[in-house]
Amino acid sequence: MIPFFYSSPTLPLLLLNLDTFQFDPDRYLNGEKIDQQVVAFGIGKRACLGEALARAELYLIIGNFLLRYGLSADPCHMPSMSEKSQLGIVRKTTPYHIVFSHIQ
């Protein structure tokens, strides 16, 4: 049998004799910082079936919370009106503090 290497990428990485049924955390640790991006409900065929229910529950919880509590700016930490945002691919806003107060 002659393998068809024309369609394979140049200098492929070949992993031989790895036990695929045994968990080895060293496979995933290469000394670099771990990427912290998370896709909460998954994507594609393996997406979470309860995503619609979870989003509806969050909508109700946050809506009921905002009916019971008011939001206002913290008078001790008022944001400055000068533009100090960091520029990049996405503009990063300056942080500000808010106060939750119970509505009577």
CA distance 81 to 33: 36
> What is the phi-psi region of residue 93: left when phi exceeds 0, alpha when psi lies from -120 to 50, beta otherwise?
beta
H or E stretch at 61: helix 51-68
**Residue 76, marked binder:** no
Q: Rounded to whole angstroms, how far apart are CA atoms 102 and 12?
A: 62
With CA atoms as reference, report the closest residue to 66 among 58, 54, 74: 58
The annotated binding site for heme is made up of: 48
The annotated binding site is made up of: 48
